Structure 1
Amino acid sequence: MSASAPAPTIDQLIDELIAREGGYVDHKADRGGPTRFGITEAVARAHGYTGPMSLLPQAEAAAIYRRLYWLRPRFDQVQRRAPRIAAELFDTGANMGPGVAVTFLQRALTALNRNGKDYPDLTPDGRIGPITLAAIDAFLALRKAEGETVLLRALEALQGERYLRLAEKRPANEAFIYGWLANRIGNVD
């Protein structure tokens, strides 16, 4: 997405995510078990779906993404400030969990605050609240559009490092590492 392009809507982000995730998958190396449209069986059940995972309706998956991976972690609040960052957080959160994505954001913002000169350090608690939003505002006020690009790169660096660590820690994850790096890093422009 270029700086002048309109921010994608959450519906567009969900459609793009579902297209990347594909349909029904039950890979033996995936600890999450059966998924459809990237929604694990545990998440689908926790949100009231009782049918076979292979038949999870796309509309239900989209509703789960909107509720659990967009609104609950407050990525809609980030989108008002930094659309590309919100899109990255949504994608990372859908893959690794929203708390992990937010922790990446908080760590990156703290590393970029010039030892607290621009805004206070953040506690990487995985939750977006007024302090994290104020840090985004202060960072972007100082660094402008280029700052959003740099912050996006920092988020992707943290995400890539975590993928490599997951593959090193659990060799079965090597079945997924290529796809994670190919489809999750650098897909928001």
Structure 2
Amino acid sequence: MSLTGDDVRSQPTAEAAVRAEGYTGGISDLPLEKAKEIYQSRYWRPLRPDAIAEVSVPVAMKLFDTGVNMGNGTAAKFLQRALNALNRQQADYPDMTVDGAIGPKTVTALVSFMNKRKPQGETVILKALASLQGARYVEIAESREQNEAFVFGWLANRV
């Protein structure tokens, strides 16, 4: 996966996100309820992790965290890529299109994976998601030298 400058700049800053939602006050004064509304409307609902949470709350929370930090499409693609790689050449479930949208095929694949791999499956899928997230941070730093100042913190705190 290669990154362009547009990929790196495609995620709005926290301030831009709250401004886009109509908040005009100081960021440090943002009420908790307004912050929750913004997270719901910009990240939770578009990513649709409720169906994922029915299978695994930790996986849903990892997707949400990744969506906030890297974009919902990226988070969904990470899950789809991981599930495709873990399906044992489609013996457990068919490959899906990596389109960045969590729909019935993605949820069905996750259910099949978790049923096949039992308790260790959740640990493995979480490691796969963290690995993809970490690799993305390294790619971001590689694509723009100024981002090297942030990559240590990203890896220490986000992965």
Q: TM-score range by the shorter chain?
A: 0.7 to 0.9
Q: Which residue of 2 aligns with 1:135?
A: 109
Q: Which residue of 2 aligns with 1:176?
A: 150
**Structure 2 length-normalised TM:** 0.87
Q: How does 1:7-22 map to 2 (within 5 A)?
A: none
Counterparts of 2:149 and 2:96, CA distance in 1:
35
Indicate if the aligned counterparts of 2:49 and 2:60 stay in contact, CA closer than 8 A. Answer: yes
Counterparts of 2:15 and 2:11, CA distance in 1:
7
Within the candidate set 41, 58, 61, 1:87 is matched to: 61
- Deviation at residue 64 of structure 1 after TM alignment: 1.1
Pair 1:167–1:149, CA change in 2 (3 A)? same
Which letter maps to 2:80? Q
Q: May I ask how many residue pairs the two structures share in their alignment? A: 152
Indicate if the aligned counterparts of 2:11 and 2:70 stay in contact, CA closer than 8 A. Answer: no
Q: Which residue of 2 aligns with 1:158?
A: 132
Counterparts of 1:78 and 1:34, CA distance in 2:
25
- Deviation at residue 125 of structure 1 after TM alignment: 0.7
- Deviation at residue 31 of structure 1 after TM alignment: 5.6
**Identity across aligned pairs (percent)?**
54
**What is the CA RMSD across the aligned residues, in angstroms?**
2.0
- CA displacement, residues 8-32 of structure 1 (integer Å, 9 cap, x when unaligned): xxxxxxxxxxxxxxxxxxxxxx968
Q: Which residue of 1 aligns with 2:74?
A: 100
Indicate if the aligned counterparts of 1:73 and 1:98 stay in contact, CA closer than 8 A. Answer: yes
**Structure 1 length-normalised TM:** 0.74
Unaligned stretches of 5+ residues in structure 1: 1-29
SS of the counterpart of 2:55?
coil
Is the helix fraction higher in 1 or 2? 2
Indicate if the aligned counterparts of 1:32 and 1:41 stay in contact, CA closer than 8 A. Answer: no
